Each structure stands twice: as structure tokens, then as C-alpha cells.
Structure 1
Amino acid sequence: MGQWFVNWSGSLSFSPDECAEPADEDEVRALVHRARESGRKIRPVGSGHSSSPLVRTDGILLSLDRLAGVISDDGRRASAWAGTKLRTLGEGLFDAGLAMDNLGDVDYQSVAGATATGTHGTGLGFGNLSTQLTAVRLVTGTGETLDIAADRDPELLPAARLSLGALGVITRVTLDVQPRYELHRRSWCAHVDWTLDHLAELQHTNRNMDFYWYPRSDQTQVRVMNRVDETQDQPAWPDSRVAGSPPTHTPRQIQVGPTHRTIPQHRELRFEEIEYMLPSEAFAACFAEVRRRIRDRHRQVVGWRVLVRTIAPDDIWLSNAYGRPTTTIACLQNTSLPYEEYFQDMEAVFRQYGGRPHWGKKHWLTARDLRPLYPRWDDFQAVRRRLDPDGVFLSPDLSRLLEEA
């Protein structure tokens, strides 16, 4: 057997038969051919930040770490190798005078892993990271190299932008980019009631806005970001665009810098997480029930916080924000504390309000549960079977997600 793989949080560990780190696309093709001929499964892996078992396999675990770096840019689009970490991508684009449109909280993910699982940031005007992809190159289950782009393959791109690694091994991506810019980031504390009362105002008057709720204190940390070149005359504190002042308005953080250094935040403490994407119109009722249940049932074991963000709708077939403005609720729990009973109770609430689970985080849904949530589910399955007819990438865990028993 090969070496042990352990994910970022430590909740997923397994020993694949083989660990491979191809240095180029020819080696990727050879690995896929070898897996197909021997009847083994092959799963690509990025940084291992995901806590869902998408990468688990007893076959070949294929790391993309050696396929890394920015390849080219023309000022509007940039191409990068799939294993490029978002931090490295951000620095490479910055050096070229460019930036991505939006990012999430984490920058040690690979660009292919982040987009393949629907990683997202926050902001009413921003989709998840997958929406920034305009083209991907992948090695299919038959070992063929396929270039999929918006202008050539409009029928395939909505599947390839967020594919869970089920269509093939993505080797390079092309993203929409823009001239680099700086963000002004501010955060402050306020009671949860104040934050909920002013939530719509905060979301509509800031480029990016999210908040953490701390169940044991009923306080929130509100975080907002705006472009520096659009907020020159705005006072740094307090946020005068929101009616009323937060009851507690000592600023916790004020930061100015380029997007890739301002949006992601470094974390030492590791955690488990469940996150569901909800129709925005259902958020208020859902959050009220989440708050009630945590306070009544789980407050004694909840050691951390609940995060609320927004995502713009998109047309990507397996996107959790497909076809609807989306508000997300994520429950975080320290890795040293129990989480299953707590998360499963939260999942029951999220499902009651039409939520879709984040593909890269904890959830307990199977294909039978998931299919009704995605209007283009069957279209994705048709593309998957076409590009991987022998199920080279279809591990048992992925099969439970994608194929009904």
C-alpha cells in the first residue's frame, strides 16, 4: 500500500495503493491509461483542505502539486496550471498587474480543487470561484486531452467548471481577471440582533460583507470590504452608511491591501465544517431556527462560530448557487470537539429550507437526496458517462454522491 493521506482537519485519512505526482500532462495521461487498463480508480487531489471524502481511494491518488504556476495572461484572462495554490496565483497575477474578481477565506487551496468543489467568497454581486473559469483542460477517463472553453464548448463548460473531479483530471484552467486593485477591510462586533436588523443594508452598501455569530455570547463579528478607489472619502469608522450605530463598535481590524492579501485570512486553529447554500429568501427563517436549536440543544458543545455569506446565482450545473441568489450558513467546530450530532441536527434544518450542501464540507446526503436539488443533474451525469465511460474516476464515495442505488 502507499503512504497515508490525511486531510487538513484530520477527519479523513486513508492509504491509497499508489501516490503519484506527475510533472506534466503526458504523465497524467499515462497514469489514467494505466488505471483504466488495471481496473483501478484514480482520484486527483489538491491541497487536502476539503473535509468531504471526494479524494478517498484505494487506487491511485494523483497530486497536482508539480503542475503549478501561472502560464500566461492577456490582460483579461489568465491561464494557470491546476495545482497552483490560490496564494501563488494571487502573487503571480499581482506581479502582472492583475487580480481575480473575488476569493474565499482560504488561499492554500489549489485553483482546480477550489473550483471543482464550489469554493466561494461573499458579496451579492459575486458568484463562486467556478464562475471565473472561462476554459479548462482535462484528461478524460479514456486518456484523451480535452480543451473546454466558453466559445467552443458551451454545452460542456457548465459541467466542467464544477465537476468534483468526476469528468477527468483538470491540468490547467483559464480565468477571467481584471486590473489589480486594493480593498479596504473593516470588522467590528455587534449583538446578533443589530446585525440581523441591518443585514440587508450592510449587504447592499458594501462590495463584500459577511458575519460570524458566536452562540455563547450572542455577539457577531461583522466584516465588510470595499475597493479603496471607490471609498476615498468614506470615514474609516464607524460605517456611516448604515443607519444607527452598532451597540459595540470598537473596530477589531482595519486592513488595506490587494485582494489576494486582504480577503483570505490565516488560521492556526483547525476545525470541521458543515455549510449549506440556501435560497436567500429563506435565510431569515432558517437562521432563526438554527439559532434556536444551537442555543437550546448544542450550546454546551459548540466551541466556535457560525458564518453567514452570500453568493450570486449562476448557471453551472452542480453549483450550489445554480439559478438562485444564495445565502450560506456554515457551522464550524474545533477538531478536538464532537461535531456529528450537532452537524446532523443543523443539516435537518438546512434541508427543511431548501439548502444544498457545500461539496467540500461535511454532509450526509446521497445521490437520491441530491438529484432533486439540481435541475441539470441528469445533464451532468450524461457528460460524466461520456467522458469517463469506464468509471475510472468514480470511487465508492463519489458513486454514493452521483449514482442512485
Structure 2
Amino acid sequence: MARSFVNWSGSLSFTPAEYAEPADEDAVRALVRRARESGVTIRPVGSGHSSSPLVRTDGILVSLDRLAGVVCADGRATAGAGTKLNALGEGLYDAGLAMDNLGDVDYQSIAGATATGTHGTGLGFGSLSTQVTGVRLVTGTGEVVEIAADRNPELLPAARLSLGALGVVTRMTLDVQPRYQLHRRSWCADLDWTLDHLAELQHTNRNMDFYWYPRSDQTQIRVLNRVDTAAERQVWPAEGRARENRVGPTHRTIPRHRDLRFEEIEYMLPSEAFPACFAELRRRVRERHRRIVGWRVLVRTVAPDDIWLSNAYGRPTTTIACLQNTSLPYEEYFRDMEAVFRQYGGRPHWGKKHWLTGRELRPLYPRWDDFQAVRRRLDPDGVFLTPYLARLLEQP
């Protein structure tokens, strides 16, 4: 069945030769084997939130929507690959459980979110991929592989964030916590005040991020803390204007609903490089782009991890994301910001706009070649390797 695909922002659209919605793992295996035999590529797709062309294929596009559902037992959670984060949150909550951290939106699928390195914020929290303890996938040969600490553990650092290049994930096991409540607050402040107090804000709150609005030079600061934990001394701007003050479970408190569509570029920087990088970004935005920058710039933190293609691999990370309304031009602005990010050792978010290829990416990831070896082992015929992925992963 042919069917056009359009991503969330509307910037990516294509018509694969076939659009498939398998209802079970056997159907996924049959699709992969057929693609391999006919010499076409096959790509899994979640909710389509990513704006990079990771899912684009002229072959078979596989929706994971019917591979959904949550099973909780003995304090552990297993979710079908197509389970949306909002449904996952509700299923965990009903079982008395919760994810340790979440990103800014909840309409992504769990497999898509982890495959692209989706993250939230907080000095003590890694990306969603760090909460993955097991993966079940269909490889490029149509075989099923279980990956966990006690089964093929050597594959886990690659499978937790794989860009969909190792196979079609059908099920994931997640590290979860007893459910808890978070207190969410936000307020507005001058940018200079925010930067002066940034380290204190980050260290005295469980989760903290801020938006910078270039045209006003104001920020919106957002913090979240557990209601069952004594909060450390809080720092507040003397002239700050409160925007939000509410309490709720993690999955209803961390993500936010988004009515307006936008394009986005986000880079993950070594935290020590953030002050200089942000200063240069601020200068360029105000001098070159302020006229067309209609949206905000988001700053978050991510803890280091040991996942091979993780943007936070091996280093405390501060992220900078530039957002632009879909009705406004973005490429000149984003490319200029990318030049700044690269100057300070940034790694691009896999699911957002960037213009890097394998030539520029390989030096940024110490375990790049190890990931490639696993990819070739699980997909020896390149069933999942579209032209875009080949440029991303293999361009010398």
C-alpha cells in the first residue's frame, strides 16, 4: 500500500513504495525478509516528530503504531515499540510506576524517542535512551535478537540509541521508578540575571531549563522538584514574573502540549564550553538574525553516558536548541548557528536539523567504529541503509 508521509513540522514529505502497519513481530519479520529479497530498503517510523530525514525511503516504510502496549511486573516495564510516551506514562502510573525523566513532548513513540536520543533536562539525568535496559528487534536478515544485560550484552551500547539502523525494534524494557509527584514552576527574568545564576539554578533543582527570547532579551526559567523531597535553597529573580505553579505526576508535568509547529536545530555541547558558545550565539543572533528570529532558544542539561551514538557520550552536556516557526525561513539562521556549535565541539541532535555527514561526525564519537561493526553484523546487506543514512554513517 502506497501512502505519503509528512512529518510533524511539515518539512519532510515523501511517498514510499509501500507503507506497512504490521500487527505483530512475525509480520515485521516477513516485511524485512521481503525487502531483503527484493533489494529495497525498509525503515521504521514512530510518530514522525523528528525533522531529520532518518525515515525517508523509496522502499518500505514500517509504522510501529500497532506494536503498542505496556506490561508492568515486579517493578519493571516492557513496552511495545510504537507505544506513545503519553500512553506509556499513563500505563506506568496505573501500575504505580514512572519514568525517571522525560522530554518536552509526549506524542513520540518510545522506540523513536530513544532511537534519536530524545532527552529532558537535569544535571543528574541522561537521555531517555539511558532508561532502556533491554531491546528486542528484527535484524536485517529477519532474525529476532534479544539484547539485555544477560543476553547479547555487547550489543546494548549500540541498541539503546541506534537511529533504526540495526533493525526494527518491536519491544523495549525500561528502568522505571515508583511513581511520584513533581512541583513545576516557571517565571520570567532578564537574560543576564539568568546566566549569572545559572549554575546555582541547575544545582538546586531536580530539573531546570530556560528559554531565551532574542527580541526582548528576556528568559523564561522552568524548574521541577519532587514534592516528597526537601528542596534546597531556591534562588529567584527579584523582579521575576511568575508564569506557572502546579503539581502533578511526572508524565503530566514534564511534557508540554504544542499547538504551533516549528523547525529546530539542537546541538549538545561540552558543558564547560557553554558560556563562550552561548555568548557567540547571542551576538550573532542579535547582529545577523534578530529580524527573522520569531521563536526562542532553549537551554538544557544532560548527564554523561556510555551509549555509543549518544550526543552526551562521555561528557556532561549542555544543549542549545534554536526553534523557528514553520512559517518563517530557517536554513540561513540554522546553518549560521551550526557553525557556532561546531566551533565549540557540539554534536547534533539526531532527530533535528543539521547538515553533517559521516566525515564530520566520526571524530565526535569515540565508539563510532564499534557501532558500525554492530550495524554491519546485524544488517549485513544494508536493508535499513537508505542513501541519507549512508551519508550519515558511511561517508568517508
The answer to whether structure 1 residue 390 and structure 2 residue 389 are counterparts is no
Aligned to 1:345: 336
1:286-301 map, 5 Å: 286-301=277-292
1:56-67 map, 5 Å: 56-67=56-67
The answer to whether structure 1 residue 368 and structure 2 residue 359 are counterparts is yes
Whole-angstrom distance in 1 between the partners of 2:72 and 2:167: 23
1:3-402 map, 5 Å: 3-75=3-75, 77-231=76-230, 241-242=234-235, 245-402=236-393
Offset at residue 248 of structure 1 (A): 3.0
Mark the runs of 5 or more structure 1 residues left unpaired by the alignment.
none
8 Å contact kept, 1:303–1:334: yes
Offset at residue 404 of structure 1 (A): 1.7
Residue identity (%): 83
8 Å contact kept, 1:317–1:380: yes
Whole-angstrom distance in 1 between the partners of 2:74 and 2:40: 40
Q: Deviations over 1:296-355 (max 9, x none)?
A: 000000000000000000000000000000000000000000000000000000000000
- Cα–Cα, structure 1 residues 79 and 403, in superposed 2: closer, same or farther, change >3 Å? same
Offset at residue 45 of structure 1 (A): 0.1
Q: Deviations over 1:173-193 (max 9, x none)?
A: 000001000000000000000
Whole-angstrom distance in 2 between the partners of 1:150 and 1:262: 31
8 Å contact kept, 2:72–2:95: no
Whole-angstrom distance in 2 between the partners of 1:27 and 1:154: 26
Give the aligned residue type for 2:249: P
Q: Give the secondary structure class of the aligned counterpart of 1:371.
A: helix
8 Å contact kept, 2:300–2:318: yes
Q: Deviations over 1:6-26 (max 9, x none)?
A: 000000000000000000000
8 Å contact kept, 2:115–2:160: yes
Offset at residue 151 of structure 1 (A): 2.7
Offset at residue 247 of structure 1 (A): 4.4
Whole-angstrom distance in 2 between the partners of 1:202 and 1:145: 46
Q: Deviations over 1:158-204 (max 9, x none)?
A: 00000000000000000000100000000000000000000000000
Whole-angstrom distance in 1 between the partners of 2:374 and 2:196: 44
Offset at residue 2 of structure 1 (A): 1.5
8 Å contact kept, 2:81–2:170: yes
8 Å contact kept, 2:122–2:208: yes
8 Å contact kept, 2:189–2:241: no
Whole-angstrom distance in 2 between the partners of 1:213 and 1:107: 23
Whole-angstrom distance in 1 between the partners of 2:314 and 2:352: 21
Offset at residue 250 of structure 1 (A): 2.2
Give the aligned residue type for 2:391: R
Q: Give the secondary structure class of the aligned counterpart of 1:156.
A: helix
Offset at residue 249 of structure 1 (A): 1.7
Give the aligned residue type for 2:311: N
Whole-angstrom distance in 2 between the partners of 1:99 and 1:89: 9
8 Å contact kept, 2:72–2:92: no
Give the aligned residue type for 1:92: G
Flag as ranges the 4+ runs of structure 1 deviating above 6 A. none
8 Å contact kept, 2:204–2:233: no
Q: Give the secondary structure class of the aligned counterpart of 1:338.
A: coil
Q: Give the secondary structure class of the aligned counterpart of 1:341.
A: helix
Whole-angstrom distance in 1 between the partners of 2:294 and 2:132: 36
Give the aligned residue type for 2:110: V
Offset at residue 387 of structure 1 (A): 0.2
TM-score by length of 2: 0.99
Whole-angstrom distance in 2 between the partners of 1:74 and 1:144: 29
For structure 1, which segment, 64-73 or 180-189, has the greater mean C-alpha deviation from structure 2 after superposition? 64-73
Offset at residue 112 of structure 1 (A): 0.2
Q: Deviations over 1:36-82 (max 9, x none)?
A: 0000100000000000000000100000000001023321x210100
TM-score by length of 1: 0.97
8 Å contact kept, 1:191–1:247: no
Give the aligned residue type for 1:151: D
Q: Deviations over 1:91-125 (max 9, x none)?
A: 00000000000000010000000000000000000
Give the aligned residue type for 1:368: R
Whole-angstrom distance in 1 between the partners of 2:138 and 2:391: 23
Whole-angstrom distance in 2 between the partners of 1:82 and 1:369: 31
